[in-house]
Structure 1
Amino acid sequence: MKQPRGMVTVAEARERARKRVTQDQRDWAALGGETALLEIVLHPPTERAALLGQDAAIAWQREWRAIADSFPNIDVPGVYVTWGERQWSRVGAQTVPERCTLSGADAIAAFAGAATAREWQALQRRAAQLRAAFPSMIDSGTIDPLAAAIRGHARTLQALTDANFATLLHVVAWLTAHPASGWRIRQLPIRGIDTKWLEAHRAVVEGLHAGVSGRLSLGLQGAPNLVRVRFLDPQLRPGGLCDVIAPVEELAALAIRPTTVFVFENLETMFAMPDLPGAVVVHGGGYAAPRLGAIPWIQSGRVIYWGDLDSDGFAILHALRSTCDDVTSVLMDEGVLLQFRDLWVPEPKAASGTYPTLTPDEQVALTRIRSEGNVRLEQERIEWKYALGRLLAVAAQI
């Protein structure tokens, strides 16, 4: 049964409605979807097209008649099918559907199908519960903070179980009522949450809390900013300890003056370093490396940085130089990259920035990495005897 070209079927119209719900439901939940409108021109066939595909044209007309007859009898108003008269020379007067008009978010979602309607209703209901629990004023023509939070976290709100949504309301209310509790995240005295609940739902909690209270901070005590250090010189070891993990503030208070501070991104290479006079090796911690600038004895020494040969490695090197004045990279040049070509792997997500603190040789290596398709040479894959020789040679120049 060949269908005349151009006619919009009920299935096609439902798909358009589904896409509209997917696209706009966040805005509807935040601001209300009563004025939403979707008009679908149905493109009825000409007389010639109808005669060429008569059975399909009749089925199409009956399908739309069934829609027109069914929707006025359900609880969701706003679905209208507009009909028009045709005077055809060969088959006489015909009544054909011309347009389907869906008025309001509820109607658009209902027409899209039961699954889409349930998803929209869940989001709409939860947005209303948030409004009731945390009433806020809406400035005419603008989006208020709670509405913005609902819009930004609509997907999460929609996906939460009823139990987790009820817990979310309770947690946001408690945090709003206790703006500076000073508790750690796993110590909160809130019934109904375990020690990991807030960690798992922190993004939506922070968003809604900011929308309700106007405060970005949850008023909690953050985890200590820890850094791992190996003291390669026995004379520098605090209390004889070689390997230490401690807060930045405590490390900053140590009365030591190393001449060489190695900063590595990989723990395996840290562990492999031998004893070395005047030296320590610090775990950079990726993009957290700039925190090392808060430790005076790192600033006072010569920093030798070794990271992965990839775009992130150079981005981290650039960030470290933003807080430490004297940073030399080692094993991060084009020669090393090409020497160990057989150990390359793809970089999952390349950093795309520009880094003005890179030296010309470093920039050449980064350009080569990108021209090869964003490859990565992980630092621990480089043959250790060769790597250690390069590191000690640079350290000896200080």
Structure 2
Amino acid sequence: MRSEKNSRPSWGILEQDAVALLRARYWNNRKTLKKLLIDNAYFPIRISLKPPKGNAALNDISHFQAFVASWKSFCEKAENESKQVNVRWDNVTFRSLSEQMVPAYLTIPDISSLARILGDAEERQLRDWQSRIAYIFDVLPVELATGTVHPVSTTAERELFSALIANLETLSDFSESDMILLVKLIPQLHKSMGRGCYLRALPVIFVDTKFIEKNLKFIESITAAIIDPTANDMGLLNWLDCKNKPKDWLLVRPLCKKTTDSLGGLPLLRLSSETLLNFELPAKNILVIENEQSCLSLENIPDTIAVSGGGKNTSWMRASWLANKRVGYWGDIDSEGLGILSDVRSKLSTVIPLMMDSATVDAYRERMVNEPESVTREPVALNDHELMLFSMLRNGDFGSTRLEQERLPMDYVYEKVRLWAG
């Protein structure tokens, strides 16, 4: 059975349907709403109420009566509540119904009127935005003649207003203490003040640097608006001259007493890719291992330091100091593992792959599983044997498509690694 709403004709939009349309099209659509908040030129909004044509009204007289009554009631409420909206009524003559005044268009002049017609929740939301924006304009060193939400006059004011609206979601979530931190922070910022330090060491007072880290893009937008437009182009961290916090920590593990002693007796440490680009590890042999657990299983490998946990991150292997080392790479035997090997070789042509060959697959084929997703693009830096293995794995020639490095027995692993290490 069709609902009442679905059984209505396509003409004659009732008040509640117009409100729902406005909410969906203009308020709940954040991209459109931000345009309306920033630029009053998008007003007035005018929507057709789809008055009936021809014999349509006569064919559904009850809907016609409900249509007219709905907008008469709306106009009476709007007049009583001083809502600045306008319904245009047209004088239309219908056959068998004589002359009738019919609602034709609804016109909404500004953002405040839109909020009022939508309801109490939207009005409260708009007032909250107005209050927050007025506070920022009142406290920050940007002149503003009035404290309401509307396009402002000077270039700096317009840029700041646009930045706040663009970050409306962040602004809405700010607590009172967050608002105070924001207006205390912005006047302290100036270009290159970080002097090459990490963000957490930025010399600011009153404001904690975790607040900056959490709201980096928002602060960047405001900084660009009222201090220096290049903050947007450079990114706030670069503009401040702060280093990015390392995200790609690698596990570094010496595999013999000699290399442990050379690292101050540390059995394990974490270094970032950026650090490893410039810090030469004190060992003749550097063993790069895809999986950290496989790295932790090794010991007593002469003059060797293992680096693991990078996965697809092989950027540090451009390091010039690696050219003077014997470098091995050990990863899973699957399309992704061979793809990573290709990336490694493209950065270091002398790398030696370990246990990533068809002989290893043949020996332990029964331990294979299926790779969740297969790399389809052929890696560019594999040799002929590796390319053949890549194709056979991708085609399922071994029955399954992945031999994980953890599935290899340790006696086999030690034999291969010690042979490589000399």
Q: TM-score, normalised by structure 1?
A: 0.73
Q: Alignment partner of 2:189: what SS?
A: helix
Distance 1:361 1:145 in 2: 58
2:194 to 161, 177, 180: 180
Instruction: Give 1:178 deviation, angstroms.
Output: 7.8
Instruction: Give 1:160 deviation, angstroms.
Output: 2.3
Residue 8 (structure 1) aligns with = 13
Instruction: Give 1:88 deviation, angstroms.
Output: 1.8
Q: Which runs of 5+ in 2 are unaligned?
A: 144-151
Residue 258 (structure 1) aligns with = 284
Q: Is the 8 A contact 2:329 2:351 kept in 1?
A: yes
Q: Alignment partner of 2:47: what SS?
A: strand
The reply to whether residue 61 of structure 1 matches residue 68 of structure 2 is yes
Distance 1:323 1:8 in 2: 66
Q: Is the 8 A contact 2:68 2:102 kept in 1?
A: yes
1:155 to 169, 185, 190: 169
Residue 372 (structure 1) aligns with = none
Instruction: Give 1:304 deviation, angstroms.
Output: 0.5
Instruction: Give 1:85 deviation, angstroms.
Output: 1.5
Residue 148 (structure 2) aligns with = none
Distance 1:301 1:148 in 2: 56
Residue 205 (structure 1) aligns with = 219
1:324-350 CA-partner distances (Å, limit 9, x unpaired) = 343455677896999666565x57xx9
Q: Percent identity?
A: 19
The reply to whether residue 81 of structure 1 matches residue 106 of structure 2 is no
Q: Which runs of 5+ in 1 are unaligned?
A: 370-374
Q: Is the 8 A contact 2:193 2:202 kept in 1?
A: no
The reply to whether residue 272 of structure 1 matches residue 302 of structure 2 is no
Residue 91 (structure 1) aligns with = 97
1:231 to 235, 245, 254: 254
2:407 to 371, 383, 389: 383
* Map 1:316-331 → 2, pairs under 5 A: 320-321=344-345, 323-327=347-351
Instruction: Give 1:290 deviation, angstroms.
Output: 0.7
Q: Is the 8 A contact 2:115 2:122 kept in 1?
A: yes
Residue 245 (structure 1) aligns with = 270
The reply to whether residue 170 of structure 1 matches residue 194 of structure 2 is no
Distance 1:102 1:378 in 2: 66
Number of aligned residue pairs: give it: 383
Q: Kindly indicate whether structure 1 or structure 2 has the higher relative contact order, using CA contacts under 8 Å at least 6 residues apart.
A: 1
1:289 to 306, 309, 314: 314
Distance 1:376 1:135 in 2: 63
Q: Is the 8 A contact 2:369 2:402 kept in 1?
A: no
Structure number, greater radius of gyration:
2
1:301-343 CA-partner distances (Å, limit 9, x unpaired) = 32414269576x6776565455434345567789699966656
Q: Is the 8 A contact 2:129 2:172 kept in 1?
A: yes
Cα distance change on mapping 1:284 and 1:210 into 2, 3 Å: farther
Q: Is the 8 A contact 1:309 1:376 kept in 2?
A: yes
Distance 1:368 1:50 in 2: 67
The aligned amino acid for 2:49 is: L
Q: CA RMSD in A?
A: 4.6
Cα distance change on mapping 1:177 and 1:235 into 2, 3 Å: closer
